[in-house]
Structure 1
Amino acid sequence: MTSILGISAFYHDSAAALIVDGRIVAAAQEERFTRKKHDASFPENAIAYCLSEAGLAPEDLDYVGFYDKPLVKFERLLETYLAFSPAGLKSWLTLLPNWLKTRLHLPRVIKKGLDGKYRRRIVFPEHHESHAASAFFPSPFAEAAILTVDGVGEWATASYGTGRDNHIELTHEMHYPHSLGLLYTAFTYYCGFRINSGEYKLMGLAPYGEPKYADRILEHLVDLRPDGSLAMHLEHFNYCQGLTMTSSKFHALFDGPPRAPESPLTERHMDIAASVQAVTEEAMLRMARHVHETTGMRHLCLAGGVALNCVANGRVLREGPFDEVWIQPAAGDAGGALGVALLIWHQLLDNPRTDDQLDCQGGSYLGPEFSNNQVREFLDSAGAVYQQFDDAEELCHHVAELIADE
């Protein structure tokens, strides 16, 4: 029996995943246990849950994988600071303590998080390899094109390649600071939402507006190429050297400063959201068409934070050239925990994808579940007043009445 634990942590959406002999046993985000949204801490609770599902202890694990290469990521931060110094000094000094405390010592941190009982190999693949593995290996396809798009991993901000049987190969990358994900996050920040958190709110805001500023984005902020890659006009952004996403030139271009969080949303904000959403959809469509043309594959697997944009995904499916598209449900960094575990099993250990491992994820409900008896016992212990329904239709009708009465 071979048991492999995958971990993602210390940026956002920390998670753990466990596979045993290639079968996905459990996966969960740390936020589900700590109740801290997008919890970035070491996922000790998620790890404990995964191990308990398999009846394993840390010393029983054969491999542990972390979803990216922290030293290469630190190299990128250092090179970026040097390129923009002294402008980025404040940002650098803000980031440095956390890196010195944890991220530069990850093997030690991981072993400590496993109670000091794990003494075997820890694998560190590239960030986009973990995304790609999470997209292809659980998919129903024996072979497929793979496209991963996010803010940034180590250096890559988008990558594509192919998956065949038990092997993935990423052949092309787009590199930081040019990033579709960071473009979207910049507008998330500008419209008053939290970065790496509120992007879904920006996507939800977009249908209420008109893409009046799309041409302005394409003329002043980015050069969008036919293959979907882009070049950012960095004078409008501040993420390379500052603690904010956008610069004063960006604010002037869109007629005002960023929206204050929780302040009223205006038609202008809705139009801005619609505009960056339109640009994002166009970029994803161009990428998909280019990947299809380059790889010749009929199927596409998607992952990375931008693959959480379900509206763009829908257009790729409807208007793109692929017959079928499979998207990792946990397409963001949380899914990297599952990706690194699968990468170790299939690619590092060269285990084939058997018929029962095609389409092996079986949905996104891989975390804890609770029986009616467990729920009832908890409610009784808390002295809660509750009703139990055996008929789902009756339950829904009752809940609807309660909502209507509010």
Structure 2
Amino acid sequence: MKKPIIGILILLIIGCKGENRTDIENKASNDSDSIMGKEISLDELLDAETVELNLQEANKLAKLPLACINVEYPNKLGQTLGSEKDLKSPQALHPAFYGCFDWHSSVHAHWSLVKLLKQFPKLENAQEIKDKLEASLSKENIQAEIAYFNTEHNEDYERTYGWAWLLKLAEELETWDTDMGSELSENIKPLTNLIVARFTEFLPKLNYPIRVGEHTNTAFALSFAYDYAIVSKNDDFRVLIEKRAKDFYLKDDNCPLTWEPSGFDFLSPCLEEVDLMSKTLPKAAFALWMEDFMPELKNINFDLSPGVVSDRKDGKLVHLDGLNFSRGWVFYGLATRYPEKYGHLRKLADKHVAYSFPNLVGDGYEGGHWLGSFALYALKESKIRN
């Protein structure tokens, strides 16, 4: 049961959020070789070096989305048919995001290309990437995507996982300080606004969070949406997400991490909640909340084995590689924001990323169409931010 005094302190700290939030928190809070392509045993992972993204590895990662964003089949549409008139090809239905097996994977494949091009302008395939991005994210294609979301039977299409990745793509474009970044950001703005509106309509009606390790996980969606709200300076959206995060998770304690992972997880229900609350709570309030939610993470000897994949040709079982990357980005984030308490988690993040990163090379379509994005996001979070 939540300790009354800690609960009161958290509420008091949260109540102080505003212009003086930083002051309140301060007072209350006293190119190396890559392992890509090599086989690494679990025993060796404890000594594994941090996977670093250099130009050579960026070129390899770029090949994964490049190989799928224009691949129409196989395809999992996930649509609701209103009549036989809705039976159309993936490209006809989704001219912007028809490749990479499903809509959300296509969206985060586009995010990967933007992210890599921003970080490494001299990629081997830089011009090809630019051409594909401009072709996909044209105003006409985005309008067609909007029309699909506005059909009678698909207003909740891709709720909320695909919505979250669309906002992550929008965030990446909005922070790309180039003419192309500005152009593409403006092109997708109408779809971005629609997704924000859908989130804004849906969240007040969601009485209970969805606590699973797959697409519908509420904490994951809110975490990505929150990032976009901050970058876009959308205060109304930010406040709504902060409110729902507290409504859903503030009273949680003793998260059963030993129950994880489930067989098909690519997200950790416990850790995604940690990630969200570390962003939306003031630092002092988050520290108090963690004392009840997952106090074991402070232990410098805390350990967690990576999820083991038994068959990478199975599209569901390979989800566990994604779990290792998503665990990694949460651990990296904690180690960066709270180095004094959680700095030791950086090594644990390295271990998870090191287990799955080699499997991106020569991967089958089951994982290749999406895992690169997860790896790239984990490596993004691994960089220590000042």
Tell me which interval the TM-score lies in, with the shorter structure as reference length. under 0.3
Considering fraction of residues, name the structure with more strand. 1
TM-score normalised per structure 1: 0.26
TM-score normalised per structure 2: 0.27
Considering fraction of residues, name the structure with more helix. 2
